[in-house]
Amino acid sequence: MSEEQTQADNRPRPTTDQFREFVAQDWAPRPPGASTADEVAAYTPARRDALSQRFPGDRLVVPAGGLKVRSNDTDYVFRPHSAFVHLTGWAADAEPDAVLVLEPREDAGHDPVLYFRPMAPREDEEFFADPRYGEYWVGVRPTLEDLAVRLGIETRHLSELDAHVGKDAGATTVRLVRDADRELTQRLDGVRVQEGADQESLAEADDALAAACSILRLTKDAWEVGQMQRAVDATKVGFEAVIADLPEAVRRGRGERWVEGVFGLHARHEGNGVGYDSICAAGDHANTLHWIKNTGELREGDLLLLDAGVEVDSLFTADVTRTLPVSGRFSDAQREIYDAVLAAQEAGIAAARPGNRFSDVHAAAIRVIAEHLHAWGLLPEGVDVEGTLDPSTGQYHRRWMVHGTSHHLGIDVHDCALATREEYMDAELVPGMVLTVEPGLYFKADDLKVPERFRGNGVRIEDDVVITEDGCRNLSADFPRTADDVEAWMARIQSR
C-alpha cells in the first residue's frame, strides 16, 4: 500500500491482545493443499530452459507485478505480467508481488525459484487486519508447499527476495523485466549501481531479457494451442449470446453497451473475462478501428462489427471478429462489401503456411482488397492494382484498409510485441505459431470518394489460425463466415 493510502486508511484495526487472540481462535482446519501438479507444469521447464540458454551465467528476474490503484484505496483486479505467466504457468490466481528468479548454475543452466507472499497463519495480524493482503479481506493464498507441488518450482517467502536477488550483483549480471514491477526495478537498480553497474547499461541489459521473453512466445507448444482453442470455443458462446439478444439490444437503446455487457457476462462465466476491451461498433462506429466507447445505438439496417475475445483462466485469449447485420439480413451493398473482405481473408488464410513469411499473409489479403477497390473505381485515376500496392508511390487503398491483416496471438492479444521486425514481420512461419487473419473495409459516412450505398458501413472478418506442418488450422472455423452462413446462423439462434 502506498504511503498516501496508508495515511488515508481509516479502517478499524484490532487494538487489544484479547481481541487479537479472540479473532485467531476456533477456526476449522484448512483443507489439504495440492497433491498433484497443474497440467501446465509439464510444459514450463522447456520454456525456462530456452530462456536460460540465451543468458548463461546471468541471474534472470521476472516479476509478476504488483497491485495497481484504481481509485484512492481500491485496486484494479490483479493481472500478472505475461512473461511471468508464460514461464511459471501461474495465471489468473497468481499473487501480486510474486517474482520468478532463474538462478545461474555452474553448468550454464538455471534453477528456478519462485518468491511470493504465502498464506499467513490465523494468529498473524495480517489474517484479519491487512485490507490489501489479509485473508479476511481478499481470500486465501496458497502456501509455499502447495504452490511448489502445483508448479514444480522451488518456492520461498517473498521476504527473502531482496537479500538474494542483489547478491553478488557486481560479479553476476542481473537482468530484470523492468516494466513488470516499478518498485522492484527501483530497488534492484540501486543495488546494481551500488555494486558498480552503470545505470544506462542496466536498461539495455534488461531490455534484452524482456525481448527474449516476448520472442519465446512466438511458437506455441501443444498445451498453449489447446488453451487457444478453449479461448476460441468460449468466445463463440459469447458471440451466440449476443446474437440471441440483438432484438433486445435494439429495443432497449444504448445497444452497443448491451452487446458489450452480454459478451462480458459470458466471458466472465466461460473464462477469466474479456481478453481486451470489446469493440461493439454499430453503423458508422465500425469505421473507427478501435471503437471501445460502445455508446451507440443498434438500429435495424445497420451492421454490428463485434471484435471480442474470451481470456481463459490460463490468460490465453481469443480474438475473433464477425460483422453481423442487426436485422439478420445483409443489404445488397453490405453483402458486396462483406464478400470482398471474405475473399481477402480467404487469400490471407491460404498464405498462412510454413515457409511463407508473416508479411505474406497481409500481402495476399491486401492484394484482393486492392483489386476490389480498383474494380469499384475508388483508386485515383491512372492507378491500377500494382500501382497502389507500390510501397513508395502507392498505398491509396489504405484509405479504406489502414491496419495490418495479422498479428501474433496468445497470452497477450497482440502477443510477442517486443520482437524486432526481422523476428516478426519478416520471419518465416513455422508450425505452432498462432495468428489472426483479419482484413477489413471501412467506408465512413462522410467519405465522398465512395459510392453513397457503401457509406457508413464497416466490415471486418477475423479468425485465429495455428500454423501446421502443411498449412494452417482455423481455430475459429466453427464461426460461420460467408454472408449466407452468417444469416442462417443468426436466424437459427434467434429462433430458439
**For strand 303-308 and strand 154-157, is the pairing parallel, antiparallel, or unpaired?**
unpaired
pLDDT at residue 4, rounded to an integer: 45
State the Cα angle at 46 between 42 and 51, rounded to 5°: 145
pTM value is 0.94
**What is the Cα–Cα distance from 355 to 404, expressed in whole angstroms?**
20
Residue 357: φ, ψ to 5°: -85, 155
Could you tell me which CATH number the domain at 222-494 has? 3.90.230.10
pLDDT at residue 3, rounded to an integer: 47
State the Cα angle at 430 between 426 and 433, rounded to 5°: 90
pLDDT at residue 5, rounded to an integer: 46
Element (H, E) at 238: helix 222-252
**What is the Cα–Cα distance from 491 to 496, expressed in whole angstroms?**
9
Q: Dihedral sign for Cα 275, 287, 490, 437, please.
A: negative
The candidate with the shortest Cα–Cα distance to 173, out of 110, 249, 98, 130, is 110
The candidate with the shortest Cα–Cα distance to 57, out of 168, 173, 167, 202, is 173
**What is the Cα–Cα distance from 345 to 465, expressed in whole angstroms?**
12
pLDDT at residue 12, rounded to an integer: 62
Cell of residue 286, nine digits: 465500425
Q: Does domain 3-215 have CATH number 3.20.20.70?
A: no
What is the full DSSP assignment across 125-167? HHHHH-TTT-HHHH-----HHHHHHHH-SEEEEGGGHHHHHTT
The candidate with the shortest Cα–Cα distance to 48, out of 1, 74, 6, 84, is 84
CB neighbour class for 64 (10 Å; exposed up to 12, middle 13-18, buried from 19): buried
User: Reduced to 3 states, what is the DSSP secondary structure of residue 376?
Assistant: coil
pLDDT at residue 11, rounded to an integer: 60
**What is the Cα–Cα distance from 277 to 273, expressed in whole angstroms?**
10
**What is the Cα–Cα distance from 495 to 487, expressed in whole angstroms?**
12
CB neighbour class for 485 (10 Å; exposed up to 12, middle 13-18, buried from 19): exposed
Per-residue pLDDT of the chain (496 residues; tens, 9 = 90+): 444 444 455 666 667 889 888 999 999 998 888 899 999 999 999 999 999 999 999 999 999 999 999 998 888 999 999 999 999 999 999 999 999 999 999 998 999 999 999 989 999 989 988 888 899 888 999 999 999 999 999 999 999 999 999 888 778 899 999 999 999 999 999 999 988 887 888 999 999 999 999 999 999 999 999 999 999 999 999 999 999 999 999 999 999 999 999 999 999 999 999 999 999 999 999 999 999 999 999 999 999 999 999 999 999 999 999 999 999 999 999 999 999 999 999 999 999 999 999 999 999 999 999 999 999 999 999 999 999 999 999 999 999 999 999 999 999 999 999 999 999 999 999 999 999 999 999 999 999 999 999 999 999 999 999 999 999 999 999 999 999 999 999 999 999 9
DSSP tally for the chain: helices H, then strands E: 16, 17
Q: Which pairs with CB-CB distance under 8 Å and at least 24 residues apart come from 90-93? A: 90/64, 90/114, 90/147, 90/151, 91/272, 91/313, 91/314, 91/315, 92/272, 92/313, 92/314, 92/315, 93/313
Residue 36: φ, ψ to 5°: -135, 160
Q: Dihedral sign for Cα 408, 440, 403, 377, please.
A: positive
**What is the Cα–Cα distance from 322 to 306, expressed in whole angstroms?**
6
Residue 58: φ, ψ to 5°: -95, 145
**What is the Cα–Cα distance from 415 to 241, expressed in whole angstroms?**
27
Contacts of 320 (CB under 8 A, 6+ apart): 232, 235, 236, 239, 307, 308, 309, 462, 463, 464, 476, 479
Q: List Cα–Cα distances, 195 to 190, 228, 383, in angstroms.
A: 9, 44, 63
Residue 104 DSSP label: E
CB neighbour class for 496 (10 Å; exposed up to 12, middle 13-18, buried from 19): exposed
CB neighbour class for 143 (10 Å; exposed up to 12, middle 13-18, buried from 19): middle
The candidate with the shortest Cα–Cα distance to 429, out of 348, 368, 346, 367, is 348
Query: Taking the domains of the chain in order of start, what are their residue ranges?
Result: 3-215, 222-494
Residue 118: φ, ψ to 5°: -80, 175
What is the full DSSP assignment across 242-283? HHHHHHHHHHHS-HHHHHHHHHHHHHHHHSSEESS--EEEEG
pLDDT at residue 195, rounded to an integer: 84
